[in-house]
Homo-oligomer: A and B are copies of this chain.
Amino acid sequence: MVGVPEQRPASAGVLTPPEAVFAPVRSYTAFEETVERLGTAIKLGLLAPGSRLPAERELCARLGIARSTLRQALTALGQSGHVFATRGRRGGTFVSDPQPPADPPSAEMLAQWRQTCDQRLAVELGVAMLAAQRAEPADLDALDEVAETLEATLEDFAAYRQADIRLHVGLAEATRSPRLVQAATEAQGAMSDLIAYIAHPPQVLASSNAQHRRLLAAVREGDALRAVRAMAEHLQGTEHVLAGLLPGH
Copies of this subunit: 2
- Tell me the complex Cα distance, A84–B228, Å: 46
Query: Quick check: which of A12-20, A153-161, A197-205 contacts chain B, the rest being far away?
Result: A12-20
- Tell me the complex Cα distance, A33–B229, Å: 35
**B122 and A50: CB pair below 8 A?**
no
Determine which of B7, B94, B96, B115 lies in contact with A179 in the assembled complex, contact meaning CB atoms within 8 Å: B115
Total count of chain A residues near the partner, CB < 8 A? 74
Whether a CB of chain B sits under 8 angstroms from the CB of A211 is no
Question: Which residue numbers of A lie inside 8 Å of B, CB to CB?
Answer: 5, 7, 9-13, 15, 17-18, 20-30, 33-34, 37-38, 41, 46-52, 54, 59, 62-65, 84, 86, 92, 94, 96-97, 114-115, 118-119, 121-123, 125-127, 129-130, 166, 169, 173, 175, 177-183, 185, 224-225, 228-229, 232
